[in-house]
Amino acid sequence: MREFLTASRNKLRSYINRNKKMSEKNLLVELFVEELPPKALNKLDEAFSSVLFESLKAQGLSAENAVVTAYASPRRLAVHATHILEVAPDKTSIQKLMPVSVGLDTHGNATPALIKRLNGMGLDETAVSRLTKQMDGKSEALFLEVIQQGAVLNDGLQKAMEEAIQKLPIPKVMTYQLADGWSSVNFVRPAHGLVALHGENIVAISVLGLTAGNQTQGHRFEAAKMPVILKNADSYAAQLKTEGAVIASFAERRAEIERQLNAAATKQGLTPIEDDALLDEVTALVERPNVLLGQFEEIYLEVPQECLILTMKANQKYFPLLDNDGKLTNKFLIVSNISPADPSAVIGGNERVVRPRLADAKFFFDQDRKKTLESRISSLDKVVYHNKLGSQGERTQRVCAIAKAIGEQLGGKALADKADFAAKLAKTDLLTDMVGEFPELQGIMGRYYAQHEGWEDDVAFAIEDHYKPRFAGDDLPRNQVGIAVALADKLETLVGLFSIGEKPTGDKDPFALRRQALGIIRMLIESKLPLPFETLIQNVLSEFSNESGNNTSTIQAIKAFCFDRLSVNLRDQGATPQDVDAVLSLDPAILSEVPQRLAAVSTFSELAEAPALAAANKRISNILKKAEGEVKAEVNTNLLQEPAEIALNTALSLVKPEADKLFESGDYTASLSALAALKAPVDDFFDNVMVNADDPALKANRLGLLATLHQTMNRVADLSKLAG
């Protein structure tokens, strides 16, 4: 009887699964809303599609070969997923109930405890026949095969939609009333339509006060049909394009805009400015892109092109056009959301809108040049920098002193004087009208105004470049004056804020000190500056009259912070953690040597002798740490007794001078490679010599030999860090 029931259940399950396979169709879900925030559209799109699909997948409603496609336009978020099941397959699991001795009495009948457990699972006494006995440890236990019914698409999609909406990375939530006038919901923008199609069938779900249907809206003005009635899940993109005049795919729409931009620019013999962020934003603003050509009066080209480009991009979302030399022209491209037969009105309207913006920029530029940068220096005293660190004027004085000292070390008095003067002018453009309107132009406008006033290019470019590098991958300052001022500016910020306890914590870094530290490190290393890092920090700290706490602890905290950033940066560039740790553990004074040391360690690690030498070095480090008192790196040859220690000392006397000479010449790779000759005598020493001899003099001499060896091996890097 039991075998018959099992066979019947298997046949029934097979029949159900065959029917479920037949109900596998493609799914489309769309939320139709008011205009979404353009800068957030891509993130909203990715989150909506991924969370919704992962929820369906977790519920067993998607086949293994399912493919997801996300759609996003200014007024819609949509997801198309292939191979979605109407009903998920049932899941079978074996569940342990209780020991046989507890569940069955001596006659094999179910005990009250077992019946209660079955009732709690929604089963009656007939389920006893389905129980099996299996060994569980040292005793038998009762097990039951439990069939968990698969999720139904209506319920599963409802759950997935609610989860996707809840997890959307909404920058700012809106609260709005529903059509009934009483209820209200929270969402990124008011939602007006919901589509949910499984094949051609509507899936009955409801979110944000909307009930799913098969209708959506096309372009506000150019749709051929209104509404667009979707035939099935697969016709969505095609119907929106032909009937709704909307390119639903963000990627397709972006590619179309890029194609039109390049075509329009090529026709003029010009090049559109490259800006991926602007391209993404414009893609999120239009549903049916149409690129048009506009232009403005050439008189505005007298204004620095950075100002004009910024105002056109930031305020109007235009694409400025550049000539073959990269210079701005008086032509620009407009990405319109409509395609009229006669575009002149659209072009004229955009030209009228941009003209006042350009006129403002010209006015600011003309007004700013009436006052010299030097005349603005005293006004920096009125600008607050930090309540514990004083005004921008006081900060400028510190930066000048630091820049002058760095300039003196790098290039003598001539460089020091230029660095001092450039530092005095570096922040003055913060007080100009142009930078007040466009803060992104700080430094750039200072350079233009300095050139207008006739200052040398070294000084002018240093004013612009002292903010560099501003981000990962950014260029370094283009001359030595710029390097000195940029280094001084970043060091003043980092050291000053650390001195008053303003350190980054966790993910919080309000003063961007991690970026400042990385900028300092990059300049020291990539410009190969021979400046001892700790001394540099000490000198900068001395410029602060209000530093609090222990200077030594502040210096060590800054060094640790910077070395941590350096470690991360080196690993990001492909160096192994062990190699980085080996180099930085020695606390190198000159950071510009770090890449060469790292390359040397990497080469050394490939030597056959490297593992044994690294292990021996680690062993030596441990021995020396445990030794009582100070161990001097000195060897009395008269106290050498064992052949192995004599051989090691002989080998060391040959290798050490050569390795030291190569190290001093900067050939770190060859210096480390020379150590390979020590492997055999080192191995022989540890196999045959007792370091902790009973004779104190003998013991001290052997420790001195190991200390000499340790000193020789660890000049480039701490090789013990390479040991497994």
Say if residue 441 is in the same domain as residue 520: yes
**What pTM was computed for the model?**
0.80
Say if residue 159 is in the same domain as residue 139: no
* In-domain check, residue 707: yes
Backbone angles phi, psi at 181, to 5 degrees: 80, -5
Predicted pLDDT at 114: 85
What is the spatial distance between Cα 242 and Cα 224, in angstroms, rounded to a whole number? 8
Say if residue 536 is in the same domain as residue 599: no
Say if residue 450 is in the same domain as residue 491: yes
Joined together, the tokens standing for residue 704 give 């001195």
User: What CATH code is carried by the domain that includes residue 705?
Assistant: 1.10.730
Q: Is the pLDDT of residue 301 over 50?
A: yes
| Cα dihedral 655/657/660/662 (nearest 10) | -80
Please say which residue of 352, 368, 384 terminates a domain: 368
pLDDT band of residue 151 (cuts 50, 70, 90) is confident
The alpha-carbon radius of gyration of the chain (Å, integer) is 37
Q: Is the pLDDT of residue 64 over 80?
A: yes
Joined together, the tokens standing for residue 28 give 């489309």
Beta strands in 316-435 (DSSP E): 319-322, 328-336, 384-386, 390-391
| Amino acid, single-letter form, for residue 365 | F
* In-domain check, residue 588: no
pLDDT band of residue 136 (cuts 50, 70, 90) is confident
pLDDT band of residue 8 (cuts 50, 70, 90) is very low
What's the DSSP call for residue 111? P
What is the spatial distance between Cα 159 and Cα 181, in angstroms, rounded to a whole number? 26
Predicted pLDDT at 32: 96
* In-domain check, residue 31: yes
Joined together, the tokens standing for residue 547 give 């530093």
Joined together, the tokens standing for residue 428 give 């003055």
What is the spatial distance between Cα 627 and Cα 240, in angstroms, rounded to a whole number? 80
Joined together, the tokens standing for residue 273 give 């400015």
Say if residue 616 is in the same domain as residue 679: yes
What is the spatial distance between Cα 354 and Cα 364, in angstroms, rounded to a whole number? 16
| Amino acid, single-letter form, for residue 541 | L
How does pLDDT run across 456-485, given as a tens digit for each residue?
Answer: 999 999 999 999 999 888 999 999 999 999
Say if residue 528 is in the same domain as residue 431: yes
Q: Is the pLDDT of residue 91 over 60?
A: yes
What is the spatial distance between Cα 319 and Cα 303, in angstroms, rounded to a whole number? 17
Beta strands in 149-221 (DSSP E): 174-177, 184-187, 191-198, 201-202, 206-207, 210-211, 215-216
Joined together, the tokens standing for residue 187 give 């969402």
Stated as kind and residue range, the H or E segment containing 232 is none
Q: Is the pLDDT of residue 212 over 50?
A: yes
User: Considering the chain, what is the average pLDDT of its residues?
Assistant: 91
SS3 656: helix
Structural domain range at position 666: 594-722
Q: Is the pLDDT of residue 584 over 80?
A: yes
Backbone angles phi, psi at 141, to 5 degrees: -135, 160
The count of domains in the chain is 5
CA distances to 66, 80, 135, 223, 280 from 38, rounded to whole Å, are 29, 22, 62, 22, 8
Joined together, the tokens standing for residue 711 give 């000193």
Say if residue 599 is in the same domain as residue 683: yes
Mean pLDDT of 110-139: 83
CA distances to 83, 85, 200, 229, 240 from 235, rounded to whole Å, are 15, 19, 10, 10, 8
* In-domain check, residue 583: no
pLDDT band of residue 4 (cuts 50, 70, 90) is very low
Say if residue 141 is in the same domain as residue 107: yes
Q: Is the pLDDT of residue 183 over 90?
A: no
Predicted pLDDT at 545: 66
Joined together, the tokens standing for residue 367 give 């007004």
Joined together, the tokens standing for residue 261 give 């931009």
How does pLDDT run across 607-627, given as a tens digit for each residue?
Answer: 999 999 999 999 999 988 888
* In-domain check, residue 579: no
What's the DSSP call for residue 543? T
Strands 25-33 and 191-198: antiparallel
Say if residue 223 is in the same domain as residue 281: no
CA distances to 24, 27, 52 from 64, rounded to whole Å, are 12, 15, 16
Backbone angles phi, psi at 69, to 5 degrees: -125, 125
Predicted pLDDT at 16: 46
Q: Is the pLDDT of residue 135 over 90?
A: no
Q: Is the pLDDT of residue 18 over 50?
A: no
* In-domain check, residue 37: yes
Predicted pLDDT at 107: 82
What's the DSSP call for residue 466? T
Tokens 């009228």 belong to: 352
* In-domain check, residue 585: no
Tokens 């694409």 belong to: 319
pLDDT band of residue 240 (cuts 50, 70, 90) is very high
Q: Is the pLDDT of residue 17 over 60?
A: no
What's the DSSP call for residue 227? S
Please say which residue of 242, 266, 292 terminates a domain: 242
Say if residue 676 is in the same domain as residue 653: yes
Q: Is the pLDDT of residue 144 over 90?
A: no
Say if residue 174 is in the same domain as residue 70: yes
Q: Is the pLDDT of residue 327 over 50?
A: yes
Please say which residue of 148, 167, 187 terminates a domain: 148
Say if residue 271 is in the same domain as residue 137: no
How does pLDDT run across 679-691, given as a tens digit for each residue?
Answer: 999 999 999 989 8
Mean pLDDT of 141-161: 86
Pick the more confident residue, 182 or 362: 362
Tokens 């992104």 belong to: 440
User: What CATH code is carried by the domain that includes residue 421?
Assistant: 1.10.3210
Query: Which residues lie closer than 8 Å to 84 by C-beta, 6 or more apart?
Result: 24, 25, 26, 27, 56, 61, 62, 63, 66, 153, 198
What is the spatial distance between Cα 62 and Cα 88, in angstroms, rounded to a whole number? 8
* In-domain check, residue 463: yes
User: What percent of the chain has a predicted confidence (pLDDT) above 90?
Assistant: 74
Joined together, the tokens standing for residue 406 give 């760095």
Strands 201-202 and 290-295: unpaired
| Amino acid, single-letter form, for residue 272 | P
CA distances to 425, 697, 701 from 692, rounded to whole Å, are 65, 10, 10
